Amino acid sequence: MKNRITSLFNIEYPLIQAGMIWCSGWELASAVSNAGGLGIIGSGSMYPEILDEQIQKCKAATDKPFAVNLPMLYPDIDKHIETIIKHKVPIVFTSAGNPKTWTKHLKDHGITVVHVVSSVKFALKSQEAGVDAIVAEGFEAGGHNGKDETTTFCLIPMVAEALDIPIIAAGGIGNGAGMLAAMNLGADAVQIGSRFVASEESSAHINFKNTVVEAKEGDTILTLKEITPVRLVKNAFYTQVVEAYNQGKKLDDLLALLGRGRAKKGMFEGDLEEGELEIGQVSGLINKILPAAQIVEEIVNDFKAELSAQNTNEKFKF
Cβ neighbours for 214, distance < 8 A, ≥ 6 positions apart = none
Q: Which ranges constitute the DSSP H helices of 1-151?
A: 4-9, 26-34, 48-61, 77-86, 103-108, 120-129
Query: What is the reported pLDDT for 190?
Result: 98
Residue 273 has pLDDT above 90, yes or no: yes
Query: What pLDDT digit, counting tens, does each position of 54-104 carry?
Result: 999 999 999 999 999 999 888 889 999 999 999 999 999 999 889 999 999
| Beta carbons within 10 angstroms of residue 217's beta carbon | 9
Q: Is the pLDDT of residue 256 over 80?
A: yes
Supply the pLDDT for residue 145: 80
Give pLDDT, residue 149.
Answer: 86
**Total count of residues recorded for the chain:** 318
Helix (H) / strand (E) element for 39: namely strand 39-42
Q: Please determine, for residue 317, whether its predicted confidence score (pLDDT) is greater than 80.
A: no
pLDDT band for 318, please (50, 70, 90 cuts). Answer: low
131 exposed, middle or buried (CB, 10 Å; 0-12, 13-18, 19+)?
buried
User: CB of 111 within 8 A of CB of 89?
Assistant: yes
